Chain A
């Protein structure tokens, strides 16, 4: 969205790096994971109060008097970020897509939805084909991994995970926070529902982040101990080829490096990610 300020390719120590995320987006990610980790550290000792680790961790986070305050503050930050981010992409969408349509006098409902579907985070048919292709590759039916565009289906799933998690966790958390006030307008069993929504969706979110997201950015052999793209905003050529080959070729041609385009099995490792 704010792409124009960033070079598609930069050089550092003679190596190519490909633009992924703007500083604005990276700051949002830092706020996101800081608040989520804080929420998990102040919430899960309560969820698993009977485990041996729960009490020391809970008291480290402030105990029964302070930890709930921290939890609620972090929840407010996360909900604020969620709303901010939604406005952020809507403004970007308006600037980059709607204004162009307006200028050309092409703003119809069909065109509007076409533009919505063309946004980089929206899942499309290629993502489905990529998933099928990936399974073919993983089961040794082909030697070519899928070629992803700028955003792979996994990144799209990661992106939409908060969009399904926060609308469940946020209102349920708010209901449990203002349980006395809400009982004037809603029956008490709503809190029973909110309790299950809040604790079980949180478990799903944390398990997904810990096992799947952290595998993608921490544990997987080529990323261990940590990927750096969330800090620098730029991805190295090796990972770019393995993770976003279509985008790689596209950017290389756009920048005039067509003859330098490396094959997909560059480096001899034919894996994906």
Chain B
């Protein structure tokens, strides 16, 4: 809608809005005061391709992310005037203006990108030729939307989410600027555990790997659904942080997370020669034997690929169907029978007769007892005589 309004009116409106609002949070690296415009929720336009683009920066989210110390221009390098000229998409591998304190060098994500290029997710094959369906291969932002810091503190053996005031007080004794201490604390402790919850990791992978068109193009199984069938997947869904997600098994222990290789690659964590090592890392099945490797993790119940599972499942479902249908049909007809209890197509005349039972008893006891129905006429009503009779019979 906005792009249909005369530009001057929009500008005037924006200016009024600017003058009325005072941002409660000032973005740390915002030297050029980009937030002046980009803090407004409605800041958006429809571009020439008809896509809706939102240019709003949520300052609270930005402040909790790992890039909060970066200046806008560190990443958006070619924006130099207002209104902006069409700009290139951000290239995460470029040198940014943050100086890395360990080596006094300008920082770049290039090394991470190199790992990605070598992995199954790289755009080029071994010979350097582009793989088919280039558009399916992920860039940084395909997996990394705005992540949050997940710092935690360990105090007296307890893990607590968030920044520990007790721990950071030690940093602050030298690093008098609180901001730096906090940033560094978060930077380090976030990397001491997984920066995402396992459920989120699975969602990230599922964006592509559960997409049917994608799976068909690359001839891949639905590994997300089969993972969710395992106890690993089920416990992760229930909120366990001790069970493995995709990354834990598909990255070699100690390797970079971005180096997820195809199971055909000899160095891959999921290569058939390496599976037993992967399962038996110190954190997981460390006391298991090497034969654990033949456990099948991504079972699709496909008849040809997983015949044992297919036929076992079929057997159990059939058994379940037989047992339950038999008894539930019985219950259904029993309830129906109650509707007309007296009705019957064929009536048995001697319904109150139990001669057959008497004959059976006679046959069993060798006709010693006189159990002829008509000749008997005793009715012991008090309990004493009843007991005597029972005892007499038993003895």
Residues of A bordering B, CB below 8 Å: 4, 7-9, 11, 45-47, 49-50, 54-55, 58-59, 63-64, 134-135, 137-144, 147, 176, 179-181, 183-189, 191-193, 195-197, 200-201, 203-204, 207-208, 211-212, 215, 220-221, 245-246, 249-250, 253-261, 263-265, 268-273
Contact = CB atoms under 8 A, between A and B. Distances in A.
Contacts of B319: 204
A180 B285 contact: yes
A147 B385 CA distance: 29
Nearest to A216: B331
B90 interface: no
Top 10 nearest A-B pairs (CB, nearest first) are: A188-B295, A184-B289, A263-B352, A64-B240, A143-B344, A200-B316, A183-B292, A49-B234, A180-B288, A188-B294
Given A50-B228, A50-B237, A138-B337, A258 B373 contact: yes
B317 interface: yes
Contact of B320 (A49, A176, A203): A203
A183 B285 contact: yes
B357 A188 contact: no
Contact of B313 (A64, A184, A196, A254): A196
Contacts of A200: 312-313, 316-317, 320
Contact of B331 (A4, A215, A261): A215
B238 interface: yes
Interface in B341-374: 341-348, 351-352, 354, 357-358, 361, 371, 373
Given A196-B309, A269-B341, A256 B386 contact: yes
B2 interface: no
Contact of A256 (B291, B294, B378): B378
B266 interface: no
Interface of B: 228, 230-231, 233-235, 237-240, 242-243, 285-296, 299, 308-309, 312-313, 316-317, 319-320, 323-324, 327-328, 330-331, 333-334, 336-338, 340-348, 351-352, 354, 357-358, 361, 371, 373, 376-380, 383, 385-387, 389-390, 393-394
Contact of A46 (B235, B328, B330): B235
A148 B17 CA distance: 88
B103 to A, nearest CB: 42
Contacts of B333: 135, 138-139
B309 A192 contact: yes
A192 B299 contact: yes
Most B-side CB within 10 Å, residue of A137, A261, A270: A270
Contacts of A45: 238
A271 B239 contact: no
Contacts of B294: 187-189
Contacts of B240: 64
B238 A250 contact: no
A181 B287 CA distance: 7
Contacts of A245: 354
A11 B149 CA distance: 74
A188 to B, nearest CB: 3
Contacts of A186: 291
A55 B334 contact: no
Contacts of B337: 137-138, 140, 271
Contacts of B292: 179-180, 183, 188, 191
A254 B383 contact: no
B285 A212 contact: no
B316 A255 contact: no
A250 B363 CA distance: 13
A221 B286 CA distance: 56
Nearest to A208: B323
A211 B312 contact: no
Given A188-B295, A200-B316, 18 more contacts: A46-B231, A49-B233, A49-B238, A138-B336, A140-B343, A143-B344, A180-B286, A201-B316, A204-B316, A204-B320, A208-B324, A215-B331, A246-B357, A249-B357, A255-B390, A256-B378, A258-B371, A263-B352
Contact of A55 (B239, B293, B383, B390): B239
Contacts of B346: 141-143
A135 B336 CA distance: 12
Most A-side CB within 10 Å, residue of B317, B337, B345: B337
A250 B357 CA distance: 8
B386 A255 contact: yes
A184 B285 CA distance: 12
B287 A180 contact: yes
Contacts of A255: 386, 389-390
A72 B156 CA distance: 30
A150 B283 CA distance: 57
Contacts of B238: 45-46, 49, 54-55, 58, 63-64
Contact of B308 (A138, A180, A189, A203): A189
Nearest to B393: A254
Contacts of B242: 64
A265 B354 CA distance: 12
7 contacts: A183-B292, A183-B295, A188-B293, A188-B296, A200-B316, A249-B357, A271-B334
Contacts of A246: 357
A183 B360 CA distance: 58
